[in-house]
Chains A and B, each alone.
Chain A
Amino acid sequence: MQKLSEKILAKIKSENISPREKWIFLVKNYGIWVLAILGIVLAGVFVGNIISDLHSAEWDIMHRFPGGKPNFLFHTIPFLWLFGIASAFTFTFFLLRKTKHGYRFGILAISGTILIVSSIAGVALLSTPLPPKFREFRMQNFPPSFEASEWNNPSEGFLFGEILEVGEKILILNAFDESIWEVDVSEARIPPLLKLKEKLKVRVIGEQISDGKFRADFVKPEISREILRKIQKNENERKFNLPAY
């Protein structure tokens, strides 16, 4: 009876079987690492975006936001970036498990490493032009849902419209429903970068005093691409010194 070793050698020779070249395995192994590192960098970009978005969120009006705190959080939590970070995390996790010795580390060790490294990468990336570029991409492709009707509810303390005139401590506003309002902004908190001028659309939080009269506690810009571009420009120039806008 033929020995197994003889059978195998005969098969190797008859079918011209040879060991695969070493470079094939090297390319595969390094390829996995390169993709895993890219995954971590991508997760870092998303972390950077999340920090950047949360930093510039309108936290000062959280308690006065139309629909209350839940609606504020719904508008503020960067779901797109969270989805991105979850995808990048999953992708990187499975790649790291596929590396030569990845199986030696537990789920917690790998997950913790990805989170820590991507957070560090995210903070580092904040000082680069990448997060604003990503935000611009989001604004162009996934603009925030802005419900003008939610903001045009004077009896509830919300007003949204276009400035017709800017007076000393007074704004004349053409509201979303075409009603005209005289808005007292003498005690309102207005972001320093917001220059009130005619034709500018603004959101106002305050109190209706009488028909056609409104007292503003906060004046905020309409969330628009134009405004966001300005914010991005300022962020690039001033990094983290930008006040909540």
Chain B
Amino acid sequence: MQEDVSLVARALKNSDAYALIVEKYEAPLLRYILRISNITREEGEDLLQNVFLKSYQNLNDFDRSLKFSSWIYRIAHNEVISAWRKKSARAEEVNLENAEAAQILASTLEIPAAIDQKILVESVRSILTKIPQKYREVLILRFLEEKDYSEISDILRRPMGSVATLVHRAKKSFELAARETDLQKFI
């Protein structure tokens, strides 16, 4: 966290130092954007570029009592929402990059690891598509991005108690949707 604060201070003095922030957060933010939206990688990269430009313009608004990662994830979250508004459509299909991500989410349902990976990925993708966006995003933040409740609270700008409720409801919703997929026999 201290490292990020010092990077921000350096970037405020010299824009070249901002490259270090971009390099550090490029991969996780792109993965997050692709996970919570249904855009292509190219569109995701364009969106990511906007995220970094907005973050640079608002560096002086970075609240040092927060983690920098929460702050920049928040900007990414807003950019995705804003992109949805422009397209007037929300994610209809979820980008799940690999079996590992699917396994992590499936593990919340205690599904055996021995299941066919292709079925698992397809089923988890289908489940994520079915559940409401607010649940999908909170599951991704909690289990794939491995954010704690406090970070999720800062990213989604919701009270911590409300985040805990949201995660609980999201798991229930995920489980309910899983019963309508090929995973039902494993639950």
A interface residue numbers (CB < 8 A to B): 3-9, 11-13, 17-22, 24-25, 100-101, 103-106, 109
Contact = CB atoms under 8 A, between A and B. Distances in A.
Contacts of B157: 103
Nearest to A25: B61
B53 A17 contact: yes
Contacts of B52: 4, 8
Contacts of B162: 106
B161 A106 contact: yes
Interface residues of B, number: 28
B2 interface: no
A106 B161 CA distance: 8
Interface string B47-78: 01100110011111101010000000000000
A19 B60 contact: yes
A19 B49 contact: no
8 contacts: A4-B49, A6-B19, A9-B16, A11-B53, A12-B18, A20-B61, A21-B60, A24-B60
B96 interface: no
B22 A8 contact: yes
B23 interface: yes
Most buried by A among B12, B19, B58, B160: B19
B10 interface: no
B60 A4 contact: no
| Secondary structure of the A contact surface, majority rule | helix
B158 interface: yes
B95 interface: no
Interface string B12-53: 100110110011001000000000000000000100110011
Contacts of B19: 5-6, 8-9
Given A8-B22, A12-B18, A103-B159, A22 B49 contact: no
Given A20-B61, A105-B159, A4 B15 contact: no
Contacts of A25: 58, 60-61
B31 to A, nearest CB: 13
A19 B56 contact: yes
Contact of A8 (B53, B59, B63, B65): B53
Given A5-B19, A6-B19, A8-B49, A19 B159 contact: no
Given A103-B157, A103-B159, A106-B159, A19 B26 contact: no
